Amino acid sequence: MKVNVKKHTMMYPAPAVVVSAYDEDGNADACTLAFAAMCSHHPPAVMIAINSTLKRKTLKSILHSNEFCLAFPSVEHMAEVDYLGIESGYNDDKLAKVNFHHHKALNVNAPVIEEFKVSLECKVMHIAEVGSHTQVTGEIVNVQAEESVLNGRDKIDFELLDALAYDDISHSYYKTGDRLSSAFKPGLEFRK
Ligand SMILES: Cc1cc2nc3c(=O)[nH]c(=O)nc-3n(C[C@H](O)[C@H](O)[C@H](O)COP(=O)(O)O)c2cc1C
C-alpha cells in the first residue's frame, strides 16, 4: 500500500557538484550544489539551480561572467565540499581555507579547481527563474579529466572517480554504488 509522504525535492542518484566562477574583481568563487543535471545532448549542456533569494556569491559571479566550471568531487574531498556549501564567499576565501588551488580554465574565463579530477567548462546559454532558484543552463565547451579516472577507452569512469553523491531528503553524502550493467541492453529482452 502506498501512503502520502512529505513533499520534498529529490532525485536519485544525484551528485554533489562544485561550481566556480570569477567575480567582477577576478576573485575565484565556488560553492557546492545538489541541484544539477544534464539537460541537452546537442549541444552538450548541464543545468544548475542556485537559490536566488539568499544571495549566493557564486550565483552573482556566474551571472556577471556568464561562464562557470562544474566539478565532480571524489569522496576523499567530502569535508572540503561540505565547507564550500556551508560558508559564503562573502565571509571567507573558501578555496584558500580548504587549501585548494585553481587556475583559469582552457576555454572559458572561470576557475578550474585543481583538486577535483573532472571539470566541465561551461558558457551560460539560458537563465530562468524557477520558484526560489535561478536555473542556469550552461553549454559544455570543454571537459578536463585526470588520466587516473579514465577507462581503457579514454572515457570518464565515475567508479574510478569515486564520485560523491548527495541525498536531499536525509541531507546525507553517499558513495556511488557498483555498476550493474550496460544501459540500452537489458530491456532488449522485452522486444522479442
Ligand atoms: C550538499 C550541499 C548541497 C547544496 N546544494 C545547493 C543547491 O543546489 N543550490 C543552492 O543554491 N545552494 C546549495 N547549497 C548551499 C550553498 O552551497 C551555500 O549556500 C554556499 O554557502 C553558497 O556559497 P557562496 O555564497 O560562496 O556562493 C548546498 C550546500 C550543500 C552542503
Give the range of the structural domain holding residue 146, as residue numbers without chain letter: 17-191
Rounded CA separation 78/87 (Å):
15
Residue 179, in any domain of the structure: yes
Which pLDDT score, from 0 to 100, does residue 110 have?
Answer: 98
Counting atoms of ligand 1 from 1, which one is nearest the CA of 29? Answer: 26
**pTM tops 0.85, yes or no:** yes
Rounded distance from Cα 6 to ligand 1 centre (Å): 22
Residue 3, in any domain of the structure: no
Residue 186, in any domain of the structure: yes
Tell me the per-residue pLDDT of 107-124, one tens digit each, with 9 for 90 and over. 999 999 999 999 999 999
Residue 142, in any domain of the structure: yes
Which pLDDT score, from 0 to 100, does residue 54 have?
Answer: 73
Rounded CA separation 83/98 (Å):
8
Residues of the chain with pLDDT under 50: none
Which pLDDT score, from 0 to 100, does residue 176 have?
Answer: 87
Residue 100, in any domain of the structure: yes
Number of domains forming the structure of the chain: 1
Which pLDDT score, from 0 to 100, does residue 112 have?
Answer: 98
Give yes or no for residue 57 CB within 6 A of ligand 1: yes
What is the domain-level CATH number for residue 44? 2.30.110.10
Check if the beta carbon of residue 164 is closer than 8 Å to that of residue 73. yes
Which pLDDT score, from 0 to 100, does residue 165 have?
Answer: 96
Residue 102, in any domain of the structure: yes
Residue 4, in any domain of the structure: no
- The residues pairing with 124 across neighbouring beta strands, listed in sequence order, are 138
Which pLDDT score, from 0 to 100, does residue 65 have?
Answer: 98
Give yes or no for residue 85 CB within 6 A of ligand 1: yes
Which pLDDT score, from 0 to 100, does residue 13 have?
Answer: 82
Rounded distance from Cα 33 to ligand 1 centre (Å): 5
Which pLDDT score, from 0 to 100, does residue 86 have?
Answer: 97
Residue 9, in any domain of the structure: no
**Cα atoms found within 13 Å of the Cα of residue 188, Cβ hemisphere only:** 6
The amino acid at 87: E
> 10 Å Cβ neighbour count for 26?
10
Counting atoms of ligand 1 from 1, which one is nearest the CA of 51? Answer: 11
